[in-house]
Amino acid sequence: MTTVAVKPATMAQALGRALRDAMADDPTVHVMGEDVGTLGGVFRVTDGLAKEFGEDRCTDTPLAEAGILGTAVGMAMYGLRPVVEMQFDAFAYPSFEQLISHVSRMRNRTRGAMPLPLTIRVPYGGGIGGVEHHSDSSEAYYMATPGLHVVTPATVADAYGLLRAAIASDDPVVFLEPKRLYWSKDSWNPDEPPAVEPVGRAVVRRSGRSATLITYGPSLPVCLEAAEAAQAEGWDLEVVDLRSLVPFDDETVSASVRHTGRAVVVHESGSFGGPGGEIAARVTERCFHYLEAPVLRVAGFDIPYPPPMLERHHLPGVDRILDAVARLQWEAEN
Amino acid sequence: MTVMEQRGAYKPTPPPAWQPRTDPAPLLPDALPYRVLGTDAAAEADPGLLRRLYGELVRGRRYNAQATALTKQGRLAVYPSSTGQEACQVAAALVLEERDWLFPSYRDTLAAVARGLDPVQALTLLRGDWHTGYDPREHRIAPLCTPLATQLPHAVGLAHAAHLQGDDVVALALVGDGGTSEGDFHEALNFAAVWQAPVVFLVQNNGFAISVPLAKQTAAPSLAHKAVGYGMPGRLVDGNDAAAVHEVLSEAVAHARAGGGPTLVEAVTYRIDAHTNADDDKRYRGDSEVEAWRAHDPIGLLEHELTERGLLDEDGMRAAREKAEEMAADLRERMNRDPELDPMDLFAHVYARPTTQLLEQEAQLRAELDAEERHHESEGAAR
Ligand SMILES: Cc1ncc(C[n+]2csc(CCOP(=O)(O)OP(=O)(O)O)c2C)c(N)n1
Ligand SMILES: [Mg+2]
């Protein structure tokens, strides 16, 4: 039996490897953005790509997000497969007109004649001590735009597998990278990269019987920790990692909630108009007769993202999740 | 030792990083719009080209009139006319090779038609039976773009991609004077110049952005001057002089094709009709201004030149009008037929594969349509 060198890799490295492999497999894949070339990106995700593939394939663009996405649209019109990096969540906003008016609807406008196979990578979320404009959870804006896929990995393996799938997709994908998980590690066999994951499938990360925590991206580790802590209180929590907000995997989510009878949605994004409202509505519509309690949400407050010294009060933590679980009307059971 | 202490050794010099860059002088536009018709330059113009331009202008004007009439009859939801701007529209189409790409705005259906697109397909957006009525890749005409200036970065990206692939393709993008104030205009020109992309930007300065005149849009010496700030040449041309526009655009396209990078062309023209059929231009401009521009009409200018030089007679004019009438009659005939609509198309092209959410909504609409049909049937039976 041969032994394989299994060593730890970070999520940032897994994302970089996914880009590298995609570029090696498909000469139409082009990476572009601010500082992605010589520097390798501010999070070093694109490290080494310009060196390996040349600056025409991994391009430092002028500093203009609408221009980056707008020119990527033109490149995709010509048959390339651009992968655009937005430097931070809040700095993607200048590109929203291109995203909403063109990227999301070009397939539709042209009756399928000219789909845009574009991937837009966006580092998002808080918990890294960033000063203002560096920690937004912008997923609800993207979710509200028909025609986009919205995908977010929570594990090192998914970072690779989902990014490969996003790049291979013939539809535009907004690929949200949880910043605070960039340095999370997992064992990794460099000779055998993880599987390419289909976009649109949620996965049960922890099986349990008492209630389901529905979450994604940066909140997955928090939910898993909460589930461990809940064990001591006598709750056996199931944790579903959505991985894809659009398309939404109603099947996996509903199956879990029908099985447990209770659900809490957990995310950093604010609750008002946030993803949790949509998810709670979908669960309620599909699982009403199985529910023992209303679907609850544990979310960021409905405030502009706070300064770093106060952010821990804002982000959903283990205690807030356990408090919500405690409010799931267990009395009725006794 | 600090700098302060070694004062004697300190020599004032320019900032070390500063390097002289592009010399702006060759990039500057002419002081006056470049003209051919009615000038000495006209003698060098190719008579065949002038005749061709004439036929296209006459056809273009008839097309505008027909589309406007169809709008009044309720056959189009809205029509932004390019009457008065035919020289720009036609020249933009004629300077391109088959493999090149045109990036039109909502006002530029005539450019697409002059390029060879079926007018019915060009007008789909404005009739409202779908957004884009043609396959952009088949015709190398991007979808008519409504959000102002947002088509410009697409043209740059496409030209850049073609260049990277080693293809000999030029993109020509149209934008209005108002559109030059948008951020995407700036970003597109900047990207184009940095990448030296084979792209030509044609600004049709028709005097207005709906009601807002150019004076409220910019304090630049001219729109063509804006090119200099990006390090690309700016050209100013009489937009009603079809020969001049054709010449300036041809040069810009050849320059781009030869690897010389982008050019910004400002064509000075005038929107003779209101912004669209829904606009009331009496609120912001006087008849005398419109009349002054009617006296500088693209067809009039070219007709004068051609007849003066004996290149066009009454028969030639009649032949051009007859061809235009044929096009108009065919357009009328086909636009007077109701388009075939399939409500299920709403779901057909949102994603490559519909999401489960869309499949559910599709089923809902299907059920509503079936119920509607049953209702009609039972009403019919009762009668
Ligand atoms: C981003 C954006 N803002 C506003 C509008 C509404 N709008 C449509 S046409 C127009 C005027 C455009 O003027 P100009 O660029 O000069 O082009 P023209 O209509 O004169 O051809 C406006 C304000 C729009 N289409 N897109
Ligand atoms: Mg205008």
**Residue B178 CB less than 6 A away from ligand 1:** yes
A157 is a domain residue: yes
* Chain position carrying tokens 């994908």: A173
**Residue B179 CB less than 6 A away from ligand 1:** yes
Other C-beta atoms lying within 10 Å of the C-beta of residue B1: 6
Here the ipTM equals 0.95
Q: What's the pTM value of the predicted model, to 2 decimals?
A: 0.96
Atom of ligand 1 at shortest distance to CA of A97?
Answer: 1
pLDDT digits (tens, 9 = 90+) for A302-328: 999 999 999 999 999 999 999 999 999
The answer to whether the CB atoms of B349 and A64 lie below 8 A apart is: no
Query: What's A291's domain CATH number?
Result: 3.40.50.920
Task: Give B-chain residues touching A61 at CB under 8 angstroms.
Answer: 191
Per-residue pLDDT, B302: 98
pLDDT at residue A1 greater than cutoff 60: no
The share of chain A scoring above pLDDT 70, in percent, equals 98
Hey, what are B46's tokens?
Answer: 């190719």
Instruction: Report strand pairing: B212-213 vs B208-209.
Output: antiparallel
Whether residues A92 and A160 share a domain: the answer is: yes
A250 in Cβ contact with A282 (< 8 Å) = yes
Whether residues A58 and A182 share a domain: the answer is: yes
pLDDT at residue A108 greater than cutoff 50: yes
Whether residues A109 and A50 share a domain: the answer is: yes
Name the residue of B148, B211, B226 to mutate for ligand 1: max ligand atoms within 8 A of Cβ.
Answer: B148
Other C-beta atoms lying within 10 Å of the C-beta of residue A67: 28
Give every CB contact of residue A284 below 8 A, 6+ residues apart in sequence.
A291, A294, A295
Nearest to A267 by CA among A241, A246, A285, A290: A241
Mean pLDDT of A63-80: 98
A195 is a domain residue: no
> Residue A171: which of B153, B183, B352 has the nearest Cβ?
B352
Task: Give B-chain residues touching A75 at CB under 8 angstroms.
Answer: 157-158, 160-161
Distance (angstroms) between ligand 1 centre and the Cα of B355 equals: 35
- Going by alpha carbons, the residue nearest to atom 21 of ligand 1 is B176
pLDDT band (50, 70, 90) for residue A165: very high
> Residue B137: which of A70, A109, A114 has the nearest Cβ?
A114
A163 is a domain residue: yes
Sheet containing strand A119-124, edge to edge, reads A58-60, A29-33, A81-85, A119-124, A173-178, A149-151, A244-246
* CA distance linking residue B237 with residue B222, whole number of Å: 11
Instruction: Specify the 3-state DSSP secondary structure of A57.
Output: coil
Top residue of B154, B165, B199 to mutate, by most chain A CBs within 10 Å, is: B154
Which uninterrupted H or E stretch holds B222?
Answer: none
Task: Give the count of domains, chain A.
Answer: 2
Whether residues A49 and A149 share a domain: the answer is: yes
Chain A nearest CA to B271, separation (Å): 27
Whether residues A174 and A207 share a domain: the answer is: no
**Residue B75 CB less than 6 A away from ligand 1:** no
B183/A contact by beta carbon, under 8 A = yes
A212 is a domain residue: yes
A193 is a domain residue: no
List active site positions of B.
Answer: 271, 275, 284
pLDDT, greater one: B21 or B165:
B165
* CA distance linking residue B273 with residue B255, whole number of Å: 34
Query: What's A131's domain CATH number?
Result: 3.40.50.970
A49 is a domain residue: yes
Mean pLDDT of B297-302: 98
**Residue B89 CB less than 6 A away from ligand 1:** no
CA angle B104, B263, B113 (to 5 degrees): 25
Per-residue pLDDT, B9: 73
Which of A188, A212, A240 is the last residue in one of the domains?
A188
B153/A contact by beta carbon, under 8 A = yes
Task: Give A-chain residues touching B179 at CB under 8 angstroms.
Answer: none
Per-residue pLDDT, A188: 85
Which uninterrupted H or E stretch holds A223?
Answer: helix A220-233
Which of A126, A158, A188 is the last residue in one of the domains?
A188
**Residue B216 CB less than 6 A away from ligand 1:** no
A105 in Cβ contact with A147 (< 8 Å) = yes
Per-residue pLDDT, B3: 58
Whether residues A140 and A224 share a domain: the answer is: no
Per-residue pLDDT, A260: 98
Mean pLDDT of B34-59: 97
A198 is a domain residue: no
Hey, what are B72's tokens?
Answer: 């009044």
Per-residue pLDDT, B45: 95
pLDDT digits (tens, 9 = 90+) for A84-107: 999 999 999 999 999 999 999 999
Which of A188, A215, A236 is the last residue in one of the domains?
A188
pLDDT at residue A253 greater than cutoff 60: yes
Mean pLDDT of A191-208: 92
Q: How far is CA B188 from CA A62, A308, B124, B226, in A?
A: 10, 36, 27, 12
A194 is a domain residue: no
Whether residues A172 and A24 share a domain: the answer is: yes
Which uninterrupted H or E stretch holds B376?
Answer: helix B356-382
Whether residues A125 and A238 share a domain: the answer is: no
Beta partners for residue A20, in sequence order: none
- Going by alpha carbons, the residue nearest to atom 26 of ligand 1 is B147
- Contacts of residues B110-116 at CB distance under 8 Å and 24 or more positions apart, as own/partner, are B110/B60, B110/B63, B110/B64, B110/B82, B110/B85, B110/B86, B111/B174, B112/B139, B112/B141, B112/B144, B113/B60, B113/B63, B114/B56, B114/B60, B114/B89, B114/B90, B115/B139, B115/B141
Q: Which of A30, A102, A134, A149 is catalytic?
A: A134
Instruction: Report strand pairing: A296-300 vs A263-270.
Output: parallel
The answer to whether the CB atoms of A250 and B158 lie below 8 A apart is: no
Mean pLDDT of chain B: 96
**Residue B208 CB less than 6 A away from ligand 1:** yes
pLDDT at residue B8 greater than cutoff 80: no
pLDDT at residue B362 greater than cutoff 60: yes
Whether residues A81 and A211 share a domain: the answer is: no
pLDDT digits (tens, 9 = 90+) for A75-85: 999 999 999 99
SS3 per-residue string spanning A148-203: CEEECCCCHHHHHHHHHHHHHCCCCEEEEEEHHHCCCEEEECCCCCCCCCCCCCCE
pLDDT at residue B93 greater than cutoff 70: yes
Distance (angstroms) between ligand 2 centre and the Cα of B173 equals: 15
Nearest to B264 by CA among B224, B237, B221, B231: B224
Whether residues A155 and A215 share a domain: the answer is: no
pLDDT digits (tens, 9 = 90+) for B192-234: 999 999 999 999 999 999 999 999 999 999 999 999 999 999 9
pLDDT digits (tens, 9 = 90+) for B233-281: 999 999 999 999 999 999 999 999 999 999 999 999 999 999 999 999 9
Quote the domain boundaries for residue A74.
7-188
The answer to whether the CB atoms of A77 and B154 lie below 8 A apart is: yes
Per-residue pLDDT, A331: 85
CA angle A39, A40, A41 (to 5 degrees): 95
Whether residues A209 and A299 share a domain: the answer is: yes
Whether residues A171 and A243 share a domain: the answer is: no
Instruction: Report strand pairing: B263-268 vs A244-246.
Output: unpaired
